[in-house]
Chains A and B, each alone.
Chain A
Amino acid sequence: MALVIRDADSPNGSKVCIASTDTPRLTAANAPELKADVTAMVGQGYKHYVVDLSSLSFLDSSGLGALVGLLQSVEAGSHVCVCGINGVVKQLFEITHMTKVFKIHNNVDDAVNWLQELA
């Protein structure tokens, strides 16, 4: 298990999945595990997703691929928010322009508030 998952309800009743990494490194070694967690998340009736990466001090290309897999799996109109990125993880998001495809927030509360304001 690379992700710890909990639910949050937005005001219009859309279920929001909040998934937090529980490891400091997301690499080729545990990316398949993350991918399996992501696959398990999708199709559970969630409308939006918030992925909290604040535990991460390192993310490599395989880990990033697994996160992009989530983005590619969700239904149209769903948002995937990423929060808690710092240091080299933030640098990787910036250099690969992932900041343009994921909604980036400082923390889970900010992401959930943003989703609530959308509703």
Chain B
Amino acid sequence: MLTLKADENVHFSSDEFAGDNLDSLKILIVEDDRIYQRWMAKIVENFGSEVFLSSNGTEAIEILKKEPISIVISDLCMPDTDGIELTRHVRNLKLDRYVHIIMVTSREDEEDRRQALSNGVDDFITKGTNPSILLARLRTACRMVRHEEELAQRHEELKAAVDHIQRDLAAASTAQKSLLPKLDERFADVIVRSQFQASSFVSGDMFGCFAFEDGFVGFYIVDVAGHGVRSSLNSVAIGHLITKEYFRRNVIGGDGNCTPADLVKELNARFAQQDGDDYFTMICGVIDTSRDLLHFCQAGHPSPLLAVPGSPPIAVGQGGMPVGMFDFAQYQNGMAVFPPGSVLLVCSDAATEAENPEGAFFGDVRLSAFMSRALSENSKTMTEDLVEELNAWRQGAPLEDDLTLIEFDRRH
């Protein structure tokens, strides 16, 4: 074993390490050889670091738990807990800081070093090495510790910023949901029920339903492309725009003639831009209960399912271009018979695009089969049941898109 006198002078110029700032660093020296321990301590103390001493691994762990040590210089071979075991313990402590570990070895044994590195040791010095080498290694360790501290500080700042944004988003989500009606009411002789589930903090779906005189029931569902704040702001803007009066002015003529495509054309003229990102799909329509007709216009929104008495559900509509994508887009009025006893189910694409863990989509066929079953059971909770059916299909996986379901029921 190498022995050194405690008062052995080590000669180096402090200028050699000018600019190194070991001040305020807390360094733990773990060494069972008291003389070598004190020799290292003297070198380190000369540079202003606060030094803690330990002669074994068990005691070192206790010191590390209590003191904000940044650097450990530990002997590899010690009785009881050796340097590698000490390193393993340190890495398992899950401290709020990184501890840089320099291992002191008596020889340059490849296998020892490989094992030490794989257990989390950062650097090595050979016992009895020139003090200049020890200080050079400490200088490197110091740089890494400082860098780690800066990263930790930036991480804290970012975390605080993310927390702040998440609180704002949660507040925005609550505000937006308050704009979405939870429908379960009678409009003329149509009972309208809705379900909405957001995929993220804020969503891009918007919908509304209006009762007009003369037995007209109007509705619209909008699904803004994308997710998050941008989609949400657009959907809220659209929701504010489509008031009951705006809807009536654009859709229901003075002669009772219904032209929902005019509403879509009006919105397209307003929102069409050169950028393909900000667009939305929608479906809007009017149920004319006095003439038993459904008038609708489909703009990229999935086809609704219509079930008239005695017939299975069928998808109605031929599709149409989304709104805000092309200024030249043309929109068509569609019409279907909607007599008493009929049900119309309008779903956003999150219904058919729900995926199970194997990656299979819920799809049109299952949706249609679900509606047939619900009708045969005379279910009055079709939209709630569909939410459950889709949850079961996804087996608890979160929604990847906003889900809006609206049922228009004339079965009474």
Query: What is A's interface to B at a CB cutoff of 8 Å?
Result: 27-28, 31, 35, 57-58, 60-62, 64-69, 71-72, 88, 91, 94-98, 100-101
Contacts and interface: CB of A to CB of B under 8 A. Distances in A.
Nearest to A98: B321
A69 B319 contact: no
Contacts of A65: 225-226, 276-277, 279, 325
20 contacts: A28-B228, A61-B223, A61-B226, A61-B281, A64-B225, A65-B225, A65-B276, A67-B276, A69-B275, A69-B276, A72-B276, A88-B361, A95-B298, A95-B301, A95-B319, A97-B319, A98-B321, A100-B321, A101-B321, A101-B326
B276 A96 contact: no
Nearest to A63: B225
B322 interface: yes
Contacts of A69: 275-277
Contact of B319 (A27, A58, A68, A94): A94
A62 B275 CA distance: 12
B226 A28 contact: yes
A66 B276 CA distance: 7
A34 B349 CA distance: 22
B320 interface: yes
Given A61-B226, A62-B226, A97-B320, A68 B325 contact: yes
A28 B227 contact: yes
A58 B277 CA distance: 18
Interface string B268-291: 000000111101010000000000
Contacts of B279: 61, 65, 68
A71 B276 contact: yes
Contacts of B85: none
A24 to B, nearest CB: 9
A96 B361 contact: no
A69 B227 CA distance: 18
A65 B269 CA distance: 18
Contact of B225 (A61, A94, A98): A61
Contact of A95 (B225, B276, B303, B401): B303
Contacts of B401: 60
Contacts of B32: none
A58 B225 CA distance: 15
B281 A96 contact: yes
Interface string B345-368: 000010011000001010010000
B95 to A, nearest CB: 35
A91 B275 CA distance: 23
Given A57-B359, A95-B302, A97-B321, 6 more contacts: A28-B228, A61-B281, A88-B352, A88-B353, A96-B281, A98-B321
A15 B321 CA distance: 30
Contacts of B400: 27
A96 B326 CA distance: 12
Nearest to B325: A68
Contacts of B277: 35, 62, 65-66, 69
Contacts of B349: 61
Given A28-B226, A60-B401, A88-B353, A72 B274 contact: yes
B319 A96 contact: yes
B312 interface: no
- Give the interface centre of B223, B300, B364, B401 by most chain A CB atoms within 10 Å: B300
Contact of B300 (A27, A35, A95): A95
A60 to B, nearest CB: 7
A95 B318 CA distance: 7
A39 to B, nearest CB: 12
A35 B322 CA distance: 19
Contacts of A66: 276-277
A59 to B, nearest CB: 10
Contacts of A96: 281, 300, 319-322
Nearest to B300: A96
Interface in B183-229: 223, 225-228
